[in-house]
Structure 1
């Protein structure tokens, strides 16, 4: 079952189960963003924790 893309969440991670496949969007209604350090001061300090590998 293919879910509709969420035009409010852009995503280029095609390996993710929630990627819209035909366009660079996520299919989730909400994502969780986490940080890897006590204080996030750059994009590399954060991650989408809603990622699930589609493999």
Structure 2
């Protein structure tokens, strides 16, 4: 079921609702791979899970 509070267009994620670009999780964890992020590209969805058989 889609969570309209979390928009997502990452089709390779297990939790993406393919037909409507929303996440199916109740909540997500957002993190960073930088000590002091200064750009959007420095942040990551830590709830991401690669969809099985997605990228083979």
Same fold (TM over 0.5): yes
Unpaired stretches in structure 1, ≥5 consecutive residues: none
Structure 1 residue aligned with 2:44, among 38, 47, 53?
47
Unpaired stretches in structure 2, ≥5 consecutive residues: none
Q: Could you tell me which residue of structure 2 aligns to residue 7 of structure 1?
A: 4
CA RMSD of aligned residues (A): 0.6
Instruction: Give the deviation of 1:32 after TM superposition.
Output: 0.4
What is the TM-score of this pair, normalised by structure 1?
0.90
Q: Could you tell me which residue of structure 1 aligns to residue 30 of structure 2?
A: 33
Q: Could you tell me which residue of structure 2 aligns to residue 16 of structure 1?
A: 13
What is the TM-score of this pair, normalised by structure 2?
0.88
Number of aligned positions between the proteins: 52
